[in-house]
Structure 1
């Protein structure tokens, strides 16, 4: 069994490589070659939870699961909100092939999936990116979106202005883009071609009246039926895509709240992003349409990333082999 730590995961799983891995596995899911089940969740006090996310990649002949904890308030203490481990098993005999850090896998693959959706749904000439939130996902999303669209200006909003200013200074040292910090969400998104909502909010922070025609939104932060980042009007007037329909029907507050209010009907979901990639459903039809990608996170994304890391780790002799 190969044990791969957080630093080794980060070294092996580059964003560019992960974007391609995510595109491939989402196509497999659309083709029925990847088996995806709803996560099991154990609620914990103070809005915290632990989740188990199992899956099976038929072509790669691997099964496995991510065990993850989500503690939204961790950011206040300098810790990641999502922490976990990924177990990778051989599907032929069930043996455990690898155990690896899931915290960095989650951070990288989440942004990589947003990049896949952005490439598929946003306007090709999108130049202004708005990031709502200043945590780990803001860092990885900036890196990912820069790889798929010609971004020239980045607007960031955060509830913690000092943290947003620190993020700006850090990212401007790393990337050749102009970054502006905004005190309001409305100001941050007014001219945005691409918007990523990356918060732990349980109530809407992004309103439809603030979003311009032709924008694309990656809704990433809310992953429970009781939580949402988007208001109902924004969902109503947008083309709504998901990573998995089953997940959206059970876990997406962004979808379930307007559905329960009668603002949208049960046919509002256009399809899964993998179906857009395989041309089973249409994507953007005009430059005036607003598109939303609702990202809840899938076990098969973690497994695909882990399988890539495992093979690259074996080749590059990274990680530690131990006997059970």
Structure 2
């Protein structure tokens, strides 16, 4: 059985190749049961989440085991730790095991970029990334594959981390990055806003967002947390990675559904609909589009197989 660490995965998962692999898998035949969420209180009194995410096609089975520990930021540790196992679907034999942190961060960013290829305006020129964690670090490169941005803005509660991210991107050859302090102003300037935070309460407000914006919400991973307020939801054309996950597992949608603000039937399409062109995506230059990502098991399998097949 092959074993792959984060360094190996990072060297093999190019953003453009992964975006294309995701598009291909979304157009293919696959199975992904609703993932299992288990919430538990650790010895420090903080609530963590254990997530089990299986998926398969006729050749491979993939299973990801994830623990989300939001309080890890106080320990200078990532909030998410995960392992990924690939098995032969015919024999059930395990054939690869991977550290899934890099795998998850990259596939998450690339799924957002894939959605933006259908939902962001063709002439979008300003990208705002909100957050400074592992996923946020990949969002600039992933989104830059599908649109050419003249200006890239970074905002995070921890400005020092945002500046470190700016320096990292500069080393990667991306020079047009500015760290901003005024989030409201940045939201009003941005054509595409990509949020990847662990915020418990809204940090993006609908009255800040200009017409024609595409909003990409990644961070909320429980029904109790959200990155955007009700007005943002009301003024947006809503797309999701999957209705089963996004409508029930994420506070952006679950909270307004519970309070009667949002009708679940108003969700327009999912990522499979977009990739299969069952829905064209953005319909005009002025609408506000919103893509809510809960994370899909099949995304992990697509990324893992890209790594595995490159090492065969």
Which bin holds the TM-score, normalised by the shorter protein? over 0.9
Q: CA deviation at 1:44?
A: 2.6
Pick which of 159-168 and 207-216 moved more: 159-168
Q: Is the 8 A contact 1:155 1:189 kept in 2?
A: no
Q: How does 1:1-324 map to 2 (within 5 A)?
A: 1-28=1-28, 33-45=29-41, 46-58=46-58, 61-314=59-312
Q: Is the 8 A contact 1:154 1:177 kept in 2?
A: no
Pick which of 292-301 and 18-27 moved more: 18-27
Q: Deviation per CA, 1:8-58, whole angstroms, max 9, x where unpaired? A: 111111112111111111222xxxx11111221221321321111011123
Give the whole-Å Cα distance in 1 for the aligned partners of 2:229 and 2:109. 22
Q: CA deviation at 1:169?
A: 2.8
Q: Is the 8 A contact 1:195 1:215 kept in 2?
A: yes
The runs of at least 4 aligned residues of structure 1 exceeding 6 Å deviation read none
Q: CA deviation at 1:171?
A: 1.9
The structure whose RCO (Cα within 8 Å, separation 6+) is larger is 1
Pairwise CA RMSD of aligned residues?
Answer: 1.4
Q: Is the 8 A contact 1:151 1:177 kept in 2?
A: no
Q: CA deviation at 1:79?
A: 2.0
- Normalising by structure 2, what TM-score? 0.95
- Normalising by structure 1, what TM-score? 0.91
In structure 2, do the counterparts of structure 1 residues 215 and 44 end up closer, same or farther at CA, with 3 Å as the change threshold? same
Q: Deviation per CA, 1:116-172, whole angstroms, max 9, x where unpaired? A: 001111011111000111122221001101111011111111111222222223323
Q: Is the 8 A contact 2:213 2:289 kept in 1?
A: yes
Number of residue pairs the alignment of both structures matches: 308
Instruction: Flag structure 1 segments of 5+ consecutive residues without an equivalent.
Output: 315-324
